């Protein structure tokens, strides 16, 4: 199975000036655990995760004053839609993170998480994939 089969195509994109509270609200409303942070001034892509927000709160920082840009991971490992789930899991394990931004030639097309991979690796998901292969 490939990353394109598992990834969420709901990509929340925010700017670096969003506060952590704004980011958390948007993430909660869309039921996602990460947001792509797009800095149009530098054309850079980064990722802000639930863990980044929790770390800030745990450190006693004010979520109304702290910005996404301050807590964004910019040294990001990106996945291609054509990667296998094993390749994605290996990158996550090696890097110690739970989300990968999925890029194609046009930019971000999805995010794949550990949860997405596990969902695809459950026995029921494997049976559905096998049945679809046999009928197609």
Q: What is the pLDDT of residues 109-134, one digit of tens each?
A: 999 999 999 999 887 766 666 666 67
Q: What is the mean pLDDT of the chain?
A: 91
**pTM for this predicted structure:** 0.83
User: For 31, phi and psi rounded to 5 degrees?
Assistant: 55, 50
pLDDT at 99: 95
**Low-confidence residues of the chain: pLDDT under 50:** none
pLDDT at 41: 81
Token pair in block for residue 29: 């409303």
Beta strands in the chain (DSSP E): 13-14, 34-39, 44-49, 78-79, 99-104, 107-113
Token pair in block for residue 130: 């096998």
pLDDT at 126: 62
CA distance 121 to 112: 13
DSSP codes joined into one string, 110-130: EEEEHHHHHHHHSHHHHHHHH
pLDDT at 135: 66
pLDDT at 131: 67
Residue with tokens 């054509």: 82
Contact present, 106 and 57 (Cβ < 8 Å):
no
pLDDT at 40: 80
What is the side-by-side order of every strand in the sheet holding 107-113?
78-79, 99-104, 107-113
pLDDT at 128: 67
pLDDT at 133: 65
Q: How far is the CA of 102 from the CAs of 18, 21, 51, 88, in angstroms?
A: 22, 25, 19, 10
């Amino acid at each position: 199975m490939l990353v394109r089969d598992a990834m969420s195509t709901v990509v929340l994109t925010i700017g670096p000036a969003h506060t952590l509270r704004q980011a958390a609200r948007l993430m909660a409303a869309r039921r996602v655990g990460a947001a792509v942070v797009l800095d149009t001034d530098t054309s850079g892509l980064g990722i802000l995760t639930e863990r980044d927000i929790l770390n800030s709160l745990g450190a006693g920082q004010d979520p109304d004053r702290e910005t996404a840009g301050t807590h964004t991971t910019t040294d990001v490992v990106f996945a291609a839609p054509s990667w296998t789930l094993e390749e994605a899991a290996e990158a996550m394990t090696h890097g110690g993170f739970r989300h990968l931004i999925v890029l194609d030639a046009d930019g971000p097309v999805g995010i794949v998480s550990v949860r997405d991979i596990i969902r695809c690796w459950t026995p029921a998901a494997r049976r559905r994939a096998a049945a679809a292969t046999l009928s197609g």
